[in-house]
Amino acid sequence: MTSTEHDIGNAAEFPVDSIRRVELNGRAYAIARNDHGFFAVRDTCPHQGARLSAGTLTGNTVSCKVGNLIYRRDKEVIQCPWHGWDFDLESGHSVFDETQRVATAKVKVKAGRVLVTT
Ligand code: FES
């Protein structure tokens, strides 16, 4: 299968901590930008099909001992707007259920342009 590189715009037009929906070859992706860069995940939640691009960027909370929670990985997780499932932006895996995943696509910035490979 051949891959295609899509130019989706000027990197400066994607604010940090934002999510935007784009359609590439008939498939929708949620393009997220955080302090670490750009990420692309398919824009359909595997639970009941909500658009992840309408969700929020968040982190996750882990417990190191009873009553002590640590919030980490701020803005590295995309949260579905309907029922709050969380997905790692890099891998697409659900934070709480490794059997659930959204597909991802590679994103890079070259000469100020955002390029998504599908
Ligand atoms: S549709 Fe995404 S969590 Fe339910």
Residue boundaries of the structural domains of the chain: 5-112
Tell me which of 48, 96, 100 to substitute to probe ligand 1's pocket, judged by most ligand atoms within 8 Å of the beta carbon.
48
∠ CA 19-46-38, nearest 5°, is: 25
Do residues 6 and 40 make contact, with C-beta atoms less than 8 angstroms apart?
A: no
CATH assignment, 5-112: 2.102.10.10
pTM of the model as a whole: 0.91
Tens-digit pLDDT profile for residues 40-81 = 999 999 999 999 999 999 988 777 788 888 888 888 999 999
Ligand 1 pocket residues where CB is under 6 Å: 45, 47-50, 80, 82-83, 85
Note the pLDDT of residue 14.
Answer: 97
CA–CA separation, 70 and 64 (whole Å): 7
The answer, yes or no, to whether residue 115 has pLDDT greater than 80, is yes
The half-sphere exposure of 68 on its side-chain side, counting CA atoms within 13 A, is 3
Do residues 6 and 110 make contact, with C-beta atoms less than 8 angstroms apart?
A: no
